[in-house]
Structure 1
Amino acid sequence: MWALPEFFQMWAVFAIVAVGVYLYVSERFSIETTSVGLIFTLMLFGNLFTPSDQGLDSASMLSGFAAPALITIMALLVVGQGLFQTGALESMTVAINKALDHKPRRTLTLVFGAAFAVSMFMNNTPVVVMFIPVLAAMSGKMGVTASRYMMPLSFLCILAGMTTLIGSSTNLLVNDVLVRTTDLSLSFFTQFVPGMTLAAIGATFIVIAGPWLIPDRESEEPALQSTGQQYIAQIRVTADHPLDGVEPVAGLYRQLREVTVRMVQRGETAFLPPFEENLQSGDVLIIAATRPQLSALLKTRPQYLHGMLDIGAFSDGDASPDSSIMLSEAVVAPGSRMIGRNIEQIGFRRQTGCLVLGIQRRSRMIRKRMLDIRLEAGDILLLFGYEKDISALRQNRDLILLDWSTAELQDIRKAKLARIVFVATIALAALSFVPIEIAALGGAIGMIAAGCLNIRQAVRALDMRIFLLIGAAFAMGLALERTGGAEFIGNSVVSAVLPFGTQALIAAVFLIVAIFTNIISNSAAALLFAPIALSISEKADIDPIVMVLTVIFAANCSFATPIAYQTNLLVMGPGHYRFGDFARFGVPLILLLWVSYVLLAPYLFGL
């Protein structure tokens, strides 16, 4: 080990951090590769060129992977995946999508307004988790990419966090420094007026500039192919079914307006459209629908699911907890033993473990019960079953499984449990019964224990990019702090601008913290600069509350990088953003808030 002088250590860390930020922004390598490379370089530097007691050893550089913020984010990703797997928010999205048909702008405004309002009074991370699937469904309904809404969601929740003491963990960290250093403290609404002013300015910028600065990113995952052809399927109306007692309007059943009802079978009597009969328990509806339409029916209500799975039982005991429910398609092969026989005669459920939801035949329209249809070569069956049973069909000589069509389906039978676990997680975090990382981890465990998702699905929800990004950001922040780099920059700039007056000093502190918060995360920047700001207030005879609020607002300007704040990392995947997308939209927003704060400071604080 060759210990370098402290001066050279500091500048070496500056160089490493600068190279890392350049590689993130330029995307010359993947985010994962850059993150691992940064951590390795800092570990190597700390072990070779710094004293062992300085805190730059390998254990310190890797400690970010055990940081509560990282545990929180990973656990909340699992909680969000549990909501998705069970379709727990489907009823909310259905209601929103109905409103979108009539008042799209007003509905969108109400959704963002609700996210903003809730983020004022609770940690904004779970709020973003809650609204990501809602906005994803809205974007699909409005025919725009999710990237148009995900970044504004994160930014608006961050802006809302500026307005109250508990709106962001950053605010609480800075207040803790204030309490420990002085006899002062922030009240719940100390920052409300200046915070709301900045939030209003920022929200206006997002609405006006968003359409030009937010990238239009499509998912890089291949879209599921669909022929657009219709399947013949059936729904049995049971006593507790939502269709029981439904009256036709103008010869049609409005609850099934997304599909075509071709026949209603009641005992030995068949009713054809236009329909005049009220539906009743025991009726079998023969419908024609595309695969997306049938999938939508499966996700609407559990009663629809049971009504469509009319052939045999399909219960939780059919497979292990690690099995996923799949939807797939298979073609009846030429020479198949199934040709000329119907589904009941074949004993399809008994032989394959899968259910036939629909039959597609291109040659002619079929108007009879699905169970009465005799299969022909080339018929396409829409299949529903557990993953192990769908996979086993690859060896079936009577069917040709279309692997490209296989997709995981939401298991709405667990939707109520998923909602209970989610609400409990949010309540524990919001009411501060336990720290947010404990609440989030408990929620993730609860989702798995309740069967809302299995271990494989939970692991798949963990984004390695987020994991490595946070670890690298923590290592960079720690290296800057331990080598004195952060304090050196802060003190140097303050000494340079102090002769130009209070307003210039506030401008300098705000800009420095805003820059650092996007490099080393908002919490690290707040903790680094809060003591410096208090020292500056004493030297310059400025109210310490003013300097503390300056640090809070600047540290919350975490818009320019995904590593700046965890909500940015949460929306990075659903929005399909690149690292540089945040700088394109976030830097102008930061500059606007900086200029606004500096110009309004004399009026807000009576300077």
Structure 2
Amino acid sequence: MWVTFGVIVAAFALYAWETVAIEVTSLGVLCVLMIFFYIFPVAGSGPAGEVKNVLSAEVLLSGFSNPALITVLALLVIGQGMVRTGVLDVAAHFVLKCCGGASWLSILAVLLTATLVSGFLNNIPVVVIFIPIMQALADRFDMPPSKLMMPLSFAAILGGMTTLIGSGSNLLVNSALISIDQKPFNFFDFTVPGLVLAAVGLVYLLGVAPLLLPRREGMAESLVSGKTGGKQYIAQVTVGAQSHLVDKKAVGGIFPALGNMTLRMVQREEEAILPPFEDYQARPGDVLVVAATRQEIQNVLAREGAGLYPDLEGAAAGAVRLTAGHRAENEAEVADDAQLDDDGMPWHGGERVLAETMIPPASRFIGQTLPQVGFRFKTHCIVLGVQRRSRMIRSQLTEIRLQAGDVLLVQGRPDDVQALRTNQDVLLIEWSAAELPAHHHAKRAATVLIAVVIAAATGLVPIVMAGLTGAAAMVGLGVLNIRQAFRAVDTKILTMIPAALAMGAALHITGGAHYAANSVMGMFEGAGPWAVLSVFFITLVMLTNVISSQALAVLFTPIAVDLAISINAPIEAFAVAVVFAANCSFASPIGYQTNLMVMGPGHYRFGDFARAGIPLILLIWLVFSLFMPWYYGL
């Protein structure tokens, strides 16, 4: 039992610190448990009465065939089909049109839609779909994305509390109940209390959270926020062999040779040189990304002649193309710059624009560097920077292995940037209000999802059958091909859930769950069931913001059952407490993947989640402590 506790604590620490890949930690836990219980077997009775090791390798590895794992993976495939066909895009834009143009009404409609959809679809594809919609609302109403992206993730998490298939942790709690011979949940068993908590949470997300969240700009906005005194433009220019900038050095982190033009970034082949420019020395061929007013850039270019010109394919030396920032209000000025006065520097067509793109969980780019994926060749866009969890990485772009949630700052022709909308490997964040075209398989995808929900909700077939059949139907009907379906499978989930199930089995069989429940009871001896339930819930909530919600769901379900039995309370109430607690990953980005996904688009820092998440946790805890004892008759 104590060795099992030690393995669980070590696994939690590695999951939280992320010093080792989650997949490696999960497989390592399985290996340690298998080897230990092979050397020190736990004797028990088999089906025929024979003595056997009840924690054998077969038992510990059985999580890979667990129905809950298969259901979660199947729902990811179904969600990928919904993303690819654009079904929810059409529905979301319909909702926005119905709102007329009122800012907070539109935001409420998006949050409410995301909450409702998350009750029947995995949260990850829901957030992937709604990130660009939230970005469009932020642009339309001139709001920073940091005010909206975190509420989107939280709304999806709240929606996952309302049905059995709302999140993977719900299914894992249900599976854990079955494994210890307890009554499993039906599809809508905890929908009523889930809706109560979700409704309170939505009020907070709409009215309070935006006041607590910071105003923070993204990379594209920060590049155009240079000196005052006129609108700032971004110019991508190349240092020519005859330029006076050749061999000039930066002084005190700035580059005085540019005069009033502010150097923001240097692109040297595939390398991005970011500020501070302490050791930078200009070389011929360096591409400078500068910010300055139109007049200042025009004056400098007039003096430089052919010595300073942008790196444009097919452009003659001396031809200049300047681009305003990606903000819509600057577009008219860019158009005005198409014809300059007689200053000897004519302008040509083919302007460039800046945009931000995110690497979605199913991208083929994950784990590869930009040269390996051939980003510039495939998209005709140049990556100027990579942002990971709101931090601009300061290593060479060629050395960065992309991860899900990374934000790429790209520059390219307008047509090439718009073409990123149809690229399945990147998600265009900065986009116009134009609707994305619906795929011709959209009706098939929607039919499959509705059929899966109806079959699971009515109990016509078990959830695992409905989910797996739905995933197979997505492939069989041509909505997804095999490669696209397998791209939707998250390796972290594929390895973490079996590891969590193995730790849960060891915890239950070695008596660890019973020991933990008795220890909790000793701390609250004489307290009423409602007090024990309330403290148990908030304890799990604190843990789920540090460790994976899936691991918490599996490990603490046996403890919840033993605790309920020991105080003669309804088992369902404590099992539902585990479900809700596992879905309260609001105070940190670690516990839930959707939080990691919005860190880049929202430009958040780690502490921002605590700022907005802790008050929400306290509010949920208060409502839970008041409503649940009444609802379950404690």
Q: TM-score range by the shorter chain?
A: 0.5 to 0.7
Q: Quick one: which of 18, 23, 31 aligns to 1:27?
A: 18
Aligned to 1:392: none
Distance 2:170 2:36 in 1: 34
CA 1:519–1:456: 2 relative to 1, 3 Å: closer
The question of whether the paired residues in 2 share the 8 Å contact of 1:82 and 1:447 is answered with yes
Deviations 1:13-59 (A, max 9, x none): 11111111111111112222222222222222222233354532222
Structure 1 residue 556 corresponds to structure 2 residue 556: no
What does residue 132 of structure 2 align with? Answer: 137
Cα deviation, 1:339-391, whole Å, max 9, x if unaligned, reads xxxxxxxxxxxxxxxxxxxxx999xxxxxxxxxxxxxxxx99x999x99xxxx
Q: How does 1:160-559 map to 2 (within 5 A)?
A: 160-161=162-163, 197-207=196-206, 208-209=208-209, 212=212, 412-501=439-528, 503-511=530-538, 518=549, 520-522=551-553, 525-537=556-568, 544-545=569-570, 548-559=572-583
| Whole-angstrom CA distance in 2 between matches of 1:490 and 1:156 | 27
Contact 1:72 1:437 in 2 (8 A): yes
Shift of 1:459: 1.5
Q: Which of 138, 158, 161 pairs up with 2:160?
A: 158
The SS at the match of 2:160 is helix
Superposed CA deviations along residues 279-322 of structure 1, whole A, max 9, x for unmatched, are: xxxxxxxxx99999xxxxxxxxxxxxxxxxxxxxxxxxxxxxxx
Instruction: Describe the SS at the equivalent of 2:6.
Output: helix
Contact map agreement 1:514 1:558 (CA 8 A) in 2: yes
CA distance in 2, matches of 1:62, 1:177: 14
Alpha-carbon offset, residue 470 of structure 1? 1.4
- Paired with 1:506 and 1:383, the residues of 2 have a C-alpha distance of 52
Letter in 2 for 1:536: I
* Matched-pair contact (CA < 8 Å) for 2:74–2:470: yes
Deviation at 1:138, TM superposition (A): 1.0
Q: Is 2:11 the partner of 1:38?
A: no
Whole-Å separation in 2 of the counterparts to 1:179 and 1:466: 25
Which deviates more, 64-73 or 421-430?
421-430
- 2:30–2:60: 8 Å Cα contact kept in structure 1? yes
Whether the aligned pair in 1 keeps the contact of 2:188 and 2:457 (CA below 8 Å) is: no
The answer on whether the counterparts of 1:77 and 1:461 sit within 8 Å (CA) in structure 2 is: yes
Residues in 2 aligned to 1:458 and 1:192: alpha-carbon distance in whole angstroms? 30
Once the two structures are TM-superposed, the CA of residue 521 in structure 1 deviates from its matched residue by 3.7
- Cα distance in 2, alignment partners of residues 32 and 428 from structure 1: 33
Q: Is the 8 A contact 1:76 1:444 kept in 2?
A: yes
Q: Which amino acid aligns with 1:48?
A: I
Q: Distance in 1 between matches of 2:626 and 2:468?
A: 43
Alpha-carbon distance in structure 1 between the residues aligned to 2:191 and 2:443: 37
Q: Residue 87 of structure 2 aligns to a residue in which SS? A: coil
Letter in 2 for 1:549: A
Q: Are the aligned partners of 1:217 and 1:575 in contact in 2 as well (CA < 8 Å)?
A: no
List alignment gaps of at least 5 residues for structure 2.
44-51, 140-144, 220-269, 271-309, 313-330, 333-348, 354-376, 382-411, 424-435
Secondary structure of 1:89's match? Answer: helix
Asked if 2 retains the 8 angstrom alpha-carbon contact of 1:414 and 1:452, the reply is yes
- Closer, same or farther in 2 for the Cα pair 1:205/1:140, shift >3 Å? closer
CA shift, 1:136, in A, is 2.6
Larger gyration radius, structure 1 or structure 2: 1
TM-score, structure 1 length as denominator? Answer: 0.55
Distance 1:383 1:596 in 2: 46
Conserved? CA contact 1:561–1:579, under 8 Å: no
Contact 1:24 1:579 in 2 (8 A): no
CA distance in 1, matches of 2:214, 2:19: 22
Q: CA deviation at 1:114?
A: 4.0
- Return closer, same or farther for 1:12/1:412 CA change in 2, 3 Å cut-off: same
Which 10-residue stretch deviates more, 95-104 or 448-457? 95-104
CA distance in 2, matches of 1:489, 1:214: 40
Q: Which amino acid in the other structure matches residue 446 of structure 2?
A: R
- Cα distance per residue 1:153-180 (max 9 Å; x no partner): 3321134349x9xx96589789989997
Q: Distance in 2 between matches of 1:442 and 1:457?
A: 17
Partner of 2:344: none
Q: In 1, are the aligned partners of 2:153 and 2:595 still within 8 Å (CA)? A: yes
Whichever residue aligns with residue 82 of structure 2, its letter is L
**Residue 96 to residue 604, structure 1, CA distance change in 2 (3 Å):** closer
Q: Output the CA distance in 2 between the equivalents of 1:82 and 1:56.
A: 38
Quickly say closer, same or farther: Cα 1:36–1:180, change in 2 above 3 A.
closer
Q: Residue 126 of structure 1 aligns to which amino acid in structure 2?
A: L
- Hey, what's the Cα distance between the residues in 2 that align with 1:72 and 1:186? 15
**1:87 aligned partner:** 86
User: Per-residue displacement from partner, 1:393-452 (whole Å, max 9, x unpaired)?
Assistant: xxxxxxxxxxxxxxxx98823333323223322332233322222222112211111222
Q: Deviations over 1:119-146 (max 9, x none)?
A: 7xxxx35264674354133123135379
Whole-Å separation in 2 of the counterparts to 1:489 and 1:212: 37
User: SS state of the match for residue 493, structure 1?
Assistant: helix
Deviations 1:575-607 (A, max 9, x none): 779998998476664454445544667777787
Counterpart contact for 1:327–1:383, Cα < 8 Å: no
**Mean alpha-carbon deviation: is it higher for 578-587 or for 447-456?**
578-587
How many aligned positions are there? 422
Q: Secondary structure at the match of 1:456?
A: helix
Q: Structure 1 residues 512 and 435, CA, compared in 2 at 3 Å: closer, same or farther? A: same
Match of 1:107 in 2: 106
Distance 1:430 1:136 in 2: 28
Q: Report the Cα distance in structure 1 between the residues aligned to 2:608 and 2:553, rounded to whole angstroms.
A: 15
Structure 1 stretch displaced more, 548-557 or 450-459: 548-557
Aligned counterpart, 2:150 = 148
CA distance 1:38–1:200, shift in 2 (3 Å)? same
Distance 1:383 1:514 in 2: 42
8 A Cα contact 1:32 1:468, kept in partner = yes
3-state secondary structure, aligned to 1:102: coil
8 A Cα contact 1:81 1:458, kept in partner? yes
Q: CA deviation at 1:68?
A: 1.5
Distance across 1 between alignment mates of 2:191 and 2:624: 14
Hey, what's the Cα distance between the residues in 1 that align with 2:187 and 2:72? 26
**C-alpha contact (below 8 Å) 1:46/1:56 kept by paired residues:** yes
**Root-mean-square deviation (Å):** 5.5
Quick one: structure 1 residues 49 and 186, their matched pair in 2 at CA, closer, same or farther if it must change by over 3 Å?
A: closer
Give the distance between the partners of 2:592 and 2:191, measured in 1 at CA.
23
Distance verdict in 2 for CA 1:213–1:482, change over 3 Å: farther
Gap regions ≥5 residues in structure 1: 1-9, 230-258, 261-287, 293-325, 331-359, 363-378, 388-408, 538-543
Distance 2:464 2:127 in 1: 20
Deviation per residue, 1:246-297 (Å, 9 max, x gap) = xxxxxxxxxxxxx99xxxxxxxxxxxxxxxxxxxxxxxxxxx99999xxxxx
